[in-house]
Amino acid sequence: MGFVAGLGVPTGMGVPTYYIDGGGENVWDANTYATIIFDNSGSMNQVITAMTSAAIGPYFSSGSAAGGDGVKNEDSLRSQLQDLYASGDIEGAPTYNTNNATNGKTEFEKHVQVRSLGENSVEYMYKPYYYNPNTTWPANPVQSATGYHQAAFVTPSNFVQVVVCNESNSIYHDGHNGSTFDVSSEITSTYKTHVTALKHALSGPSAIYNNITTSWQNERAGDRVDGEKPSFTLVYVDPGVNGAAAHDGPDVGFGFGTTASQRFWWEGVYEGDGVYGLDAIDTSTTNNNPVQGHNYSLNDFQDVTAWNGKSNALELVFLYDKANTSSVPYWKGVLFDAVTKNIYI
């Protein structure tokens, strides 16, 4: 296990320009749950099919287990992750186990969910999905109404949330590129609600956040009745959009200028500072009572998740003009890099 360069620059809390491949103290086991969500609002339509194949394409690229001649599909996460859910021999060589109940296929499909949704990238970080027994996987997995506390997540050891989205401006910020902005209204009330709910959902039982107006306020992961303390890995992948003209924001260490959405995540979500973080900390009052400096960023991510005693990670992966890249091998590499940023395979 060595040091490798990340895609763009990995930016986990306290993680430098280079990181340990498959790093973190966590191990991907049969109780690891992963949700991968793609932005289907329009700007990434041309790559949704490729990314879906990269995530949950077939286990074999040719042959089959029944024929004893299956060749593993190197361009699908399934071929690498499914074996980790096997309770018996794997579907691949040398055993070619055809029993889906023991070869990992059924359990993989219960634990790894893929959806194409809109631009609510922060919201999707705290709404994992679980298996829907009433439909054919992967269609329509169930969105957890109680987040990580959902009873369907049986003895969870790790939660991985990956959101691939390149434009959230209409929902979370004013949509200007990095060089032009309105300092009075850079972050929307919708974003503030979503990031507050995310912090609360990830927090321990003793945490208190003010002015939470969603049904999530009593559904903290730290309140799990089974006592489980899973690790959390949240990864935002931004492919970049509209060529060089859109990347007119500052280079914050990635080797290229940032788009509005990238700069918003870096400054507003990740650091709570700079242009998109100007109103990340609310010092206003409600009914003449201070809001107590409510933090609308995730720069306290490690403090929020410290209750579980695990290695947790918030990662940003910024890419340059990749919203038109439809290569399945390319996206398989991006997604594998994302899901293994904090979990060793």
Chain-centre distance for alpha carbon 270: 14
Work out the number of other CB atoms within 10 angstroms of the CB of residue 5. Answer: 10
- The pLDDT score that the predictor gives to residue 293 is 58
Q: How many residues in total does the chain contain?
A: 345
- The pLDDT score that the predictor gives to residue 97 is 97
- The pLDDT score that the predictor gives to residue 17 is 28
- The pLDDT score that the predictor gives to residue 205 is 73
- The pLDDT score that the predictor gives to residue 24 is 55
Task: Tell me the pLDDT band of 10, cut-offs 50, 70 and 90.
Answer: very low
Q: Please state the pTM of the whole predicted model.
A: 0.87
Three-state SS for the chain is: CCEEECCCCCCCCCCCCEEECCCCCEECCCCEEEEEEEECCCCCHHHHHHHHHHHHCCCEEECCCCCCCCEECCCCHHHHHHHHHCCCCCCCCCCCCCCCCCCCHHHHHHHEEEEEECCCHHHHHCCCEECCCCCCCCCCCEECCCHHHCCCCCCCCEEEEEEECCCCHHHHECCCCCCCCCCCCCECHHHHHHHHHHHHHHCCCCCCCCCCCCHHHHCCHHHCCCCCCCEEEEEEEECCCCCHHHCCCCCCCCCCCCCHHHHHHHHHHHHCCCHHHCCCEECCEECCEECCCEECCCCCHHHHHHHHCCCCEEEEEECCCCCCCCCHHHHHHHHHHHHCCCEEC
- The pLDDT score that the predictor gives to residue 175 is 63
- The pLDDT score that the predictor gives to residue 20 is 35
Of 14-18, 240-244, 325-329, highest mean pLDDT:
325-329
pLDDT for residue 148 is more than 70: yes
Query: Do the beta carbons of residue 256 and residue 280 sit within 8 Å?
Result: no
Please state, in angstroms and rounded to a whole number, the distance separating the CA atoms of residues 272 and 131: 35
pLDDT for residue 9 is more than 50: no
Q: Which letter, b or e, does each residue of 105-114 get, where b requires 16 or more Cβ atoms within 10 Å of its Cβ?
A: bbbbbbbbbb
Q: Which letter, b or e, does each residue of 193-209 get, where b requires 16 or more Cβ atoms within 10 Å of its Cβ?
A: bbbbbbbbbbbbeebeb
Query: Do the beta carbons of residue 194 and residue 124 sit within 8 Å?
Result: no
Q: Among all chains, which residue has been given the structure tokens 């109780």? A: 31
Task: Tell me the pLDDT band of 192, cut-offs 50, 70 and 90.
Answer: confident
Task: Tell me the pLDDT band of 160, cut-offs 50, 70 and 90.
Answer: very high
Residues 241-259 have a mean pLDDT of 84
How does pLDDT run across 252-292, given as a tens digit for each residue?
A: 888 898 888 888 899 889 988 877 776 555 555 555 444 45
Q: Where in the chain are the domains? A: 3-52+75-85+111-344
pLDDT for residue 213 is more than 70: no
